[in-house]
Each structure stands twice: as C-alpha cells, then as structure tokens.
Amino acid sequence: MDSALAFGPVPSRRLGRSLGVNNIPAKVCSYSCVYCQVGRTTVLTVERRAFYEPEKVYEAVKAKLGEAASRGERVDFVTFVPDGEPTLDANLGREISLLKGLGKPVAVLTNASLLWREDVREDLAGADFVSVKVDAVEEGLWRRVNRPSRELSLEKVLEGVSVFAEEFKGTLVSETMLVGGVEYGEELQRLADFLGGLRRLAKAYVAVPVRPPAEKWVKPAGEEVVNAAYQLLSERLGPGRVELLTGYEGSDFAPTGNVREDLLAITAVHPMRRDAVEEFLKRAGAEWGVVEELVRENLLVEIEYEGKLYYIRRISRLAGREH
C-alpha cells in the first residue's frame, strides 16, 4: 500500500475537514501555472493514462480514514487534490466509485482543462462536489498565467466547463486565482459574465497565491483587484454566492467575543462596505476606533469602489495550508 496516495485530514474552508487523494505523480499536468505550489510542470500533457491501481488508492484512503477515526479526527470529504491534474487519471471514475463506498462524500478539484472530453465528464459525474478553475477567459492572459499545453484551446476549455455545468448533478463551484503584476482591465467583467452564465454554479471563489509559487515573480493580486473581482462577481451571481480564498482559516465567523478577530475573519472572506461594518460594530457594542486601529496596524485595508468605501483584510499578511 502506498501511503503517499492519501494525506490529511487538513482544514478546508470549502469542504470542512478534508482527506486528500494524490492520484497523480508530481508534476504531471495539462497546465504549468505560474503560481502552482507544487512547482513547474515536468510532464505537460493532455493524454489520460492509468497511474495507480484503483484498489491501491482505495486501500490507502481506507487506511487513512481508519487512522483519523482512531484519533477522533472528523473527515467531511475525501478530496482528489493531487500533485498534478486529477482528470488525467484514466481510472478516476472507478476510483470515485470505490471511494464513495467508504461512506464519505467525494470532491474533485480540477483545472477544468479536459472537461471538453465526454469521458472526463462521465468520470466526474460520480463525484459529490467539483471545483473548476477558471483564471481567465481571454487567450493572452490564460496563456501567461496558466501556461497550458499547446494541444489545448481556451475556447474548447470554456465550452467544456459550460457543458459540464449543464450536466453535473452534484455541487459545482469555481475558483479564480488573481495574480499580482497582471493587468486585468476588462477581464474581471468578462470573468463575471462567463461564471454568471454557468448553470448550477453554487459559488464562485476568488483566490490569491499564498504559498510559494512556481515562479518567483508571482505575488498576490492587490486588495483593489480582489475587491473589484468580488463586487463584479457578486453583481452577476447574486448575494451569498461569492467568497474569497485568501488563506485565512477562521471559525466560520461564529461570534468569539473578540471584535477584532471577528472583523478580520469576515473581511478575509467578504469585503465589507462601511455601513455594514458600522452595523456590525453597533451590534457588537464596539466603537469605530477598532477599525481605525486595524488600518493603522496594516491588518485591514480601506478601498473605494464605485463611490463606496470597503474594508478587506490585508492579503500579504495571510498564509494558508488548506486545499
């Protein structure tokens, strides 16, 4: 049994406590994203093949679940989040089927580059939760940030995402990584329009690189860009369907009695308009000085967007270990 096939459980704000499945060796992928925490892709491919026997994957996960249970650790999801693109695994459908027999919902985090393939969509159909990556809908930006295989076309990739969104019966979410030093311009609106047009999309996540990236020049996008993306997506998708993934591992924003920590937890996920912050402080019995102090300490950033003031947690202070 290969213990490297399963790891965790680790915290995930999308999935609670998640046990990871590493069904792809490093670093076999259809992309070579500039921000990838695993490093540069060494085998850039779109060809699916078998990497491990499905039964070995099953036994590794079963053993990890047993270890977690013996320590009293909760596992909410079993998640395919490997060192490469999970849908390159020709055995993915069989593995999903086997793992669902362990009594835990199964999630797959994919870069979405192969969803134009019917066999990939059929394999993913058995999952309970799928996250699709959509970092760009403009060709030049896609090639600069995701550095895809030459055998891929953005038009085909996006078409595959749209078809999958029509077919998939489980929970579908998207993730968009925003990188500093990149001029997004009208791309944020185009992204919002594309994601807003996806059927059954439960939530759109906006992320920034918070772990060591493949390329040293990569930094998180600025708070202004992140806030603009959040606002445009919220306008297109509606309230409650957009969330930031900036690395903060909070407590789901349950009241803690600590106004500072509660405010930082919320603004790490949802930029708050000034009037919302004022109402929050009023309910908590706190004064505006709390906000001024957080801004002075460089933990909170005040941003103007379309004539309104917003507050967002300083991204450069965040670090994450979740998947």
What domains can be seen in the chain, in order of their start residue?
3-245 (3.20.20.70), 259-313 (1.10.10)
Q: What is the DSSP letter of 254?
A: -
Q: Cβ of 279: how many Cβ atoms within 10 Å?
A: 12
User: Residue 251 pLDDT more than 60?
Assistant: no
Q: Which of 144, 138, 139, 84 is nearest to 114 (CA)?
A: 84
Q: What pLDDT shows up at residue 124?
A: 98
For residue 19, what are the β-bridge partners?
78
Give the E-state strand segments of the chain in sequence order: 6-12, 16-21, 28-29, 43-44, 77-80, 106-110, 129-133, 171-177, 201-207, 242-245, 272-273, 300-305, 308-313
Residue 140 CB contacts under 8 Å (≥ 6 apart), including other chains: none
Give the E-state strand segments of 145-225 in sequence order: 171-177, 201-207
Please give the average per-residue pLDDT across 307-320, as a whole number.
68
Q: pLDDT of 196-244, one tens digit each?
A: 999 889 999 999 987 778 898 998 899 999 999 999 999 999 988 999 9
Strands 171-177 and 201-207, by their bridges, are parallel
Rounded to the nearest 5 degrees, what angle is found at the Cα of 195, between the Cα atoms of 274 and 37?
85
- Residue 231: both structure tokens together: 């606002």
Phi-psi category of residue 150: left, alpha or beta, with phi > 0 → left and psi -120 to 50 → alpha: alpha
Q: Cβ of 140: how many Cβ atoms within 10 Å?
A: 10
Q: What pLDDT shows up at residue 247?
A: 55
Q: pLDDT of 43-68, one tens digit each?
A: 999 999 999 999 999 999 999 899 88
Q: What pLDDT shows up at residue 12?
A: 80
- Residues 255 and 244: their CA atoms lie apart, in Å, by 20
Q: What pLDDT shows up at residue 1?
A: 39
Angle, to 10 degrees, between the axis of helix 289-296 and the axis of helix 274-284?
Answer: 120
Q: pLDDT of 4-20, one tens digit each?
A: 888 888 778 788 889 99
Q: What pLDDT shows up at residue 165?
A: 97
Q: What pLDDT shows up at residue 3?
A: 44
Please give the average per-residue pLDDT across 274-280, as a whole number.
86
Q: Would you place residue 282 in the very low, low, confident or very high pLDDT band (cuts 50, 70, 90)?
A: confident
